[in-house]
């Protein structure tokens, strides 16, 4: 950008905003966020436990009627206000500021749980390289 083409807001110079190179890249990033690791390992179990194909109907119904609109609302308000969720919910309604903070708490909890699952997977991967395998025998005193 030339000197005369710089974007300004009042007397403050704005930095260049990043852009997605194409719509497919944005779609894949959003889909990865929505689906997440939890649905990959938990969804088949939930389908089996709650009735198989009959579980898919309410799951898809709630995802389409609740999940997608709330996700789009969050993206649109965040892009429009250029603020973090805790701040923009607080500006919309001071009582709703907790929604943004709740999102942070859920993200922290999810990160801790998924790191624990990845640690288990890594532990069993490394344990499977030993010989003999640790789970081939049960040599504890309390076993019968």
What is the residue extent of each domain of the chain?
20-127
In this structure, the number of other CB atoms found within 10 A of the CB of residue 67 comes to: 13
Task: Report whether pLDDT(122) > 80.
Answer: yes
| pLDDT tens digits along 53-99 | 888 888 889 988 998 898 888 888 888 888 888 888 888 888 888 88
pTM of the model: 0.57
| pLDDT tens digits along 16-43 | 767 788 889 888 888 887 777 777 778 8
The Cα–Cα gap between 105 and 90 comes to 16
The Cα–Cα gap between 17 and 122 comes to 38
Q: Tell me if 32 is assigned to a ligand binding site.
A: yes
Task: Report whether pLDDT(8) > 70.
Answer: no
């Amino acid at each position: 950008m030339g000197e005369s083409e710089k974007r300004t807001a009042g007397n403050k110079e704005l930095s260049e905003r990043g852009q997605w190179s194409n719509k497919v890249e944005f779609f894949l990033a959003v889909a990865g966020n929505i689906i997440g690791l939890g649905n990959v390992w938990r969804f088949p179990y939930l389908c089996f436990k709650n009735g198989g194909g009959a579980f898919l109907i309410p799951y898809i119904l709630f995802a389409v009627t609740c999940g997608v609109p709330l996700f789009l609302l969050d993206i649109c308000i965040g892009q429009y206000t250029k603020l973090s969720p805790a701040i923009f919910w607080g500006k919309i309604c001071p009582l709703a500021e907790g929604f943004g903070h709740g999102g942070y708490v859920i993200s922290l909890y999810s990160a801790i749980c998924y790191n624990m699952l990845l640690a288990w997977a890594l532990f069993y991967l490394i344990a499977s390289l030993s010989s003999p395998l640790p789970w081939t025998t049960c040599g504890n005193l309390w076993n019968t």
